[in-house]
């Protein structure tokens, strides 16, 4: 069973939602860089204050901040048996850093689940979430910028994982449970 996983996909494609379900299935933690940043921002730490400037504009937080945070989180005891990375890596240099972090322990990513969803649905989902949760980066201009950053910085990762034979594309359309079942099938958790 694959237990060191990356969840890829544009903003609002369901990475966080599906990561939690997969975490429960596999008994391993989800490591969401977005959630880690939001926690730091809520606590007003120096890292949170720095991250907030970038997140509010829909830009990526600088790699030196993000990579150090991920390295520290993956070193925690609960990640020893595996983890699901949600929102990291998010650019090609982060793919290399992740490889180096894992290689020091003789480990490697075993699968990259890529959620695919049309852009008009993405914007609708995130605007709906804005009306419920009020996440600061869920305004339409910032969502558009996050999508532009996704296409420019993050999408090239898909080809990197494809070329390594690790890419597992999943249709992100449908209900949460329909998508979860597709993920379980590509990961061979169910037949
Ligand atoms: P992050 O928190 O990772 O934001 P994101 O990638 O934009 O993803 P979202 O959380 O918006 O969406 P999701 O794909 O997780 O979907 P979700 O399940 O929530 O990052 C935020 C920011 O932090 C970045 O912009 C950047 O600034 C910074 N950052 C993070 N990682 C970084 C990194 N590695 N490097 C540098 N900077 C980084 O679902 C979305 C909504 O849709 C929810 O309301 C949900 O309930 C709903 N939904 C989910 N599935 C379905 C479904 N099947 N049908 C209907 N609704 C659904």
Q: 91-115 pLDDT, tens per residue?
A: 999 999 999 999 999 999 999 999 9
Domain ranges of the chain: 3-186
- In the sheet with 83-86, reading across from the earlier edge strand, the strands are 30-32, 83-86, 4-8, 111-116, 167-171
Phi–psi pair at 112, nearest 5 degrees? -125, 105
Over residues 126-171, the pLDDT tens digits come to 999 999 999 999 999 999 999 999 999 999 999 999 999 999 999 9
pTM for the whole thing?
0.97
CATH number of 3-186: 3.40.50.300
**Of the residues 11, 23, 73, 152, which should be mutated to test ligand 1's pocket, given the most ligand atoms within 8 Å of the CB?**
11
Q: From the CA of 11, give the closest atom in ligand 1.
A: 7
Residues comprising the chain, all counted: 191
- Name residues contacting ligand 1 (CB within 6 A): 9, 11-17, 33-34, 37, 54-55, 58-61, 66, 87-88, 90, 94, 125-126, 129, 137, 146, 175-176, 179
Q: Are 143 and 57 in contact (CB under 8 A)?
A: no
Q: Does the pLDDT at position 176 exceed 90?
A: yes
Instruction: Give the pLDDT of residue 191.
Output: 81
């Amino acid at each position: 069973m694959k237990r060191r996983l990356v969840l890829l996909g544009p903003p609002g494609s369901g990475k966080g939602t599906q990561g939690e379900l997969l975490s429960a299935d596999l008994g391993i933690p989800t490591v969401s860089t977005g959630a880690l940043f939001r926690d730091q921002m809520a606590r007003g730490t120096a890292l949170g204050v720095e991250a907030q400037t970038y997140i509010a504009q829909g830009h990526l937080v600088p790699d030196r901040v993000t990579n150090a945070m991920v390295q520290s989180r993956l070193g925690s005891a609960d990640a020893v048996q595996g983890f699901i990375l949600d929102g990291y890596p998010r650019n090609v240099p982060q793919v290399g850093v992740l490889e180096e972090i894992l290689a020091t322990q003789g480990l490697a990513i075993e699968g990259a689940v890529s959620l695919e969803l049309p852009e008009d649905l993405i914007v609708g989902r995130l605007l709906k979430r804005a009306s419920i949760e009020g996440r600061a980066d869920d305004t339409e201009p910032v969502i558009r910028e996050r999508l532009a950053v996704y296409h420019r910085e993050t999408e090239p990762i898909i080809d990197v994982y494809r070329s390594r034979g690790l890419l597992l594309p999943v249709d992100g359309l449908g209900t949460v449970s329909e998508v979860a079942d597709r993920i379980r099938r590509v990961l061979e958790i169910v037949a």
